[in-house]
Structure 1
């Protein structure tokens, strides 16, 4: 229990300490007009309050990642706590803050545009494809996961395919309508439900004196799976997730002032890390090693969610907690499709003021996603995981380049970018869904590839620094919002 409580304290303290350091390095300009005002269009660019934006950002980035991921990561034992805390503070929250703030400085641009601008034009095309692929995988995963939870909650009273269809209908409306019509109105309420359910689980862990294991570096995974890189792939959203880089621009287009960025972007990632810690601790304390593995194998992480919720909170509280978990993927799935629409529209330069234009872009996405729902969830999750890691590395390199061009401390982003590059490449070389090579060979190849990519990054930074007219930020009016 001491390890668990200390981890929560470290996460909260990081917001007030390391979060301020990152904010100071970036250099907030409170008098700079944000895109919410300079590009206001009534659809995607709409000024919204900080608390509202914060809850929307939390729901956008959370999904089932900080719950399902930590539950599966709990198989490794307390070493998972280290990754959640260190990854969240020094990688994930930095990633989210920099992508959100750089987007604000560049008219609410999405990651493909930012990658093209700071890392080179070829990266724009590659990242555009990978980002849309990631969002399709996210949208699909976040249809099947909540559909299964709803199906179990109502005892199979409604067919699974019907539930999936109803979720898709909601996604269509949330994707097409202006951001303040559905997302801006119901997300704060759903965010409160999410927080209440997570806090309820955490409080009951403490109140009941649950046997949360203390810190150890031992790998307790029953199957003996390697901690590096599989733990980092499994626990993504609770530590660092490239998916967040696709979500932050939604809120960068509704943020009223740059000073709100630390709360919205860095702060909400810290909250997600706390949620991840709670669910990892619950899974470890209530189900030990092989018992947890058996539960996951028989009913997936969703079954563990139900067992934890009803064991700790009873019938009523358990139902509310499960509803809170159901809310997470649905409120990330809809914005995943919304982000995909916006990225594609930006790429092909198609204005989104008319609903017909939005529909033309969105419908093919839903068709492809519906087809993908027939794939096995575990396979989908692994593909999502490695794509997620790759995007996070690219987003961090964008942040590092933005800081490096200005001769600011880019290492706060460069170090986690290099680490996540190594994670993604090692997984690609070693995993069965990749090349399936021996782990030792994978380490060597991944290390070589990481070194080469890091060298290219350093070379590109030197070129960008030498370009005297490099347009770091998009022109806007220096006017208080």
Structure 2
């Protein structure tokens, strides 16, 4: 099949979802109120609570949740064929991710911008909150440790990306000053920022930078990992308007420009989907399509990490409650469009089926490299951009999104330690610096303690990321559902997605449990049991709460 048809069908369906379904959800289910005083105004402090233009906030939310996952997951999942991945990305974006993201922002906004973990204690119970916080911590630990490894690998493999990746930080700092200190209009700032960013991308191939393969016995990848965590620690301490917001916003713009280039190249080139629609001859050792598809593609369809960002940073910057629809649901659409691009690049970005089959020789192959190389092939043939420059463009896109996710992820991990400090009355843990050091320390401990000198320890627990992340999405939908029932609102638009996710996630956890047992991987086997037990207990707690609320509602109707 021609990739043009796949592209237009996917984008058209997601656009219709935003224009129609998100409007229904916002007005009839969440009932977003433009006059509701948001926490950004109520607790404005110029650091974390900052009322923000919805377009800038969309940029922050979208690029924080996007990361490399909506590229990695779809570009791996096409091993089962491009049709299953396409269907899950499109339907998942419309009926799962958009509702989840907008709902998490709304729920947090209505409860003083509390995180989803803290909110669980209020709407479900303290036991559920304690277990939920463990799941949240594991997801953040995985995201931060693994994305640092992914970024470091890309910086080593594509030295032409070093200047644009780090130069983007200085561009963002300048943009923050121009918007909040010089009060220059957003359109002007956007144009200047995009020009500066793409000038750096053009400079990258001309001046590639590589670290020495070994510095004091430490590999170049490990050195990049340490540099990245040092940067992320500093970034997480700065006021959101200074770096986080402008960096996320300008990255959002460059993503759309990059996607426009890739999509335009698809339309001009008209490549065929060389991968099979349904792959019936998967490599030996490839797990079953169901339930693994729904945890392999998390970001790009639905992701629990989005709920952490929604309740961790986004809700603290919401200027109007009605902005939750644009920021949350349209943010999910943006990520879905990136996942769609990854599917096309990883299936139509090869000259022949034999070329594609050589890359996808085992489960877990493909990923970012398939996206970069396949996408560059399409751009080169479609619009004539030199292949090296096209690879740099797509690599920078992937690295910048992974980097902004690290920025936000480390800030959220700091919030977790501060919340634990408040819950258990540990005064020093409630302070910003100690909590940040704990966040960085745990990530480095996993990276180097478990992974050795190369710092790849985060990859050890990555096999559980998909299941843990999707479990978190289901649990976030549970909290939203309980809130809707308490407010007398229809609950089925969140209940049906959460039941689907819980069934698929628990099935995947059980399947992985068997795999880890057979392989003798007792570390992952134990961790799998911890996540599985937490999921079951939280599900029972939420089900009990929902049952009580429905009985109370029924009794009230009978009394009246």
Band the TM-score falls in, shorter-chain normalisation: 0.7 to 0.9
Partner SS state of residue 17, structure 1: helix
1:18 corresponding residue in structure 2:
21
1:251 corresponding residue in structure 2:
314
1:345 corresponding residue in structure 2:
418
In the alignment, which of 475, 489, 496 is matched to residue 415 of structure 1? Answer: 496
Separation (CA, whole Å) in 2 of partners of 1:297 and 1:126: 30
User: Which residues of 2 match residues 140-159 of structure 1 at below 5 A?
Assistant: 140-154=145-159, 157-158=210-211, 159=220
2:389 corresponding residue in structure 1:
316
Kindly state the Cα deviation for residue 304 of structure 1 after the two structures are TM-superposed. Answer: 1.6
Separation (CA, whole Å) in 1 of partners of 2:283 and 2:11: 27
In the alignment, which of 318, 340, 343 is matched to residue 280 of structure 1? Answer: 343
In the alignment, which of 66, 76, 80 is matched to residue 85 of structure 2? Answer: 80
Separation (CA, whole Å) in 1 of partners of 2:115 and 2:515: 28
Is there any run of 5+ residues in structure 1 with no aligned partner, and where? 438-446, 469-481
In the alignment, which of 111, 114, 121 is matched to residue 119 of structure 2? Answer: 114
Is there any run of 5+ residues in structure 2 with no aligned partner, and where? 160-207, 212-219, 380-386, 519-531, 554-560
Kindly state the Cα deviation for residue 463 of structure 1 after the two structures are TM-superposed. Answer: 2.1
1:179 corresponding residue in structure 2:
240
Separation (CA, whole Å) in 2 of partners of 1:27 and 1:143: 39
- Would the aligned equivalents of 2:349 and 2:375 in 1 still touch at CA under 8 Å? no
Separation (CA, whole Å) in 2 of partners of 1:210 and 1:295: 24
Kindly state the Cα deviation for residue 399 of structure 1 after the two structures are TM-superposed. Answer: 1.1
Separation (CA, whole Å) in 1 of partners of 2:272 and 2:376: 17
Separation (CA, whole Å) in 1 of partners of 2:238 and 2:538: 40
- Would the aligned equivalents of 2:345 and 2:370 in 1 still touch at CA under 8 Å? no
Which of 380-389 and 212-221 deviates more?
212-221
Separation (CA, whole Å) in 2 of partners of 1:110 and 1:434: 34
2:64 corresponding residue in structure 1:
60
In the alignment, which of 367, 371, 388 is matched to residue 305 of structure 1? Answer: 371
- Would the aligned equivalents of 1:75 and 1:284 in 2 still touch at CA under 8 Å? no
User: Which residues of 2 match residues 429-468 of structure 1 at below 5 A?
Assistant: 429-432=510-513, 457-464=542-549
Separation (CA, whole Å) in 2 of partners of 1:258 and 1:450: 31
Separation (CA, whole Å) in 1 of partners of 2:486 and 2:16: 30
- Would the aligned equivalents of 1:312 and 1:318 in 2 still touch at CA under 8 Å? no
Separation (CA, whole Å) in 2 of partners of 1:50 and 1:180: 13
1:428 is aligned to 2:509: yes
**Structure 1 residues 118 and 173: CA distance shift in structure 2, 3 A:** same
1:366 corresponding residue in structure 2:
440
1:474 corresponding residue in structure 2:
none
- Would the aligned equivalents of 1:64 and 1:325 in 2 still touch at CA under 8 Å? yes
- Would the aligned equivalents of 1:428 and 1:435 in 2 still touch at CA under 8 Å? no
Structure 1 length as normaliser, TM-score? 0.88
Partner SS state of residue 190, structure 1: helix
Structure 2 length as normaliser, TM-score? 0.76
- Would the aligned equivalents of 2:58 and 2:326 in 1 still touch at CA under 8 Å? yes
Kindly state the Cα deviation for residue 404 of structure 1 after the two structures are TM-superposed. Answer: 1.8
Separation (CA, whole Å) in 2 of partners of 1:187 and 1:451: 36
- Would the aligned equivalents of 2:40 and 2:51 in 1 still touch at CA under 8 Å? yes
Kindly state the Cα deviation for residue 435 of structure 1 after the two structures are TM-superposed. Answer: 6.1
1:7 is aligned to 2:39: no
Separation (CA, whole Å) in 1 of partners of 2:280 and 2:403: 33
1:134 corresponding residue in structure 2:
139
Separation (CA, whole Å) in 1 of partners of 2:430 and 2:100: 34
1:203 corresponding residue in structure 2:
264
Which of 453-462 and 238-247 deviates more?
453-462
**Structure 1 residues 457 and 432: CA distance shift in structure 2, 3 A:** closer
1:164 is aligned to 2:229: no
In the alignment, which of 268, 273, 276 is matched to residue 331 of structure 2? Answer: 268
Root-mean-square deviation (CA), in Å? 3.0
Separation (CA, whole Å) in 2 of partners of 1:455 and 1:367: 34
Separation (CA, whole Å) in 2 of partners of 1:21 and 1:6: 22
Kindly state the Cα deviation for residue 271 of structure 1 after the two structures are TM-superposed. Answer: 0.9
Kindly state the Cα deviation for residue 459 of structure 1 after the two structures are TM-superposed. Answer: 3.5
1:29 corresponding residue in structure 2:
33
Kindly state the Cα deviation for residue 315 of structure 1 after the two structures are TM-superposed. Answer: 2.3
- Would the aligned equivalents of 2:67 and 2:401 in 1 still touch at CA under 8 Å? yes
Which of 373-382 and 251-260 deviates more?
373-382
Which of 311-320 and 55-64 deviates more?
311-320
In the alignment, which of 360, 364, 376 is matched to residue 293 of structure 1? Answer: 360
1:38 corresponding residue in structure 2:
42
| Larger Rg computed on CA atoms | 2
Which of 355-364 and 135-144 deviates more?
355-364
1:2-45, Cα deviation, whole Å (9 max, x unpaired): 23321211011100111111112111111110000101122211
Alignment coverage as a number of residue pairs:
458
- Would the aligned equivalents of 1:418 and 1:450 in 2 still touch at CA under 8 Å? no
- Would the aligned equivalents of 1:44 and 1:253 in 2 still touch at CA under 8 Å? yes
1:368-405, Cα deviation, whole Å (9 max, x unpaired): 21232224665433221111011011001111111122
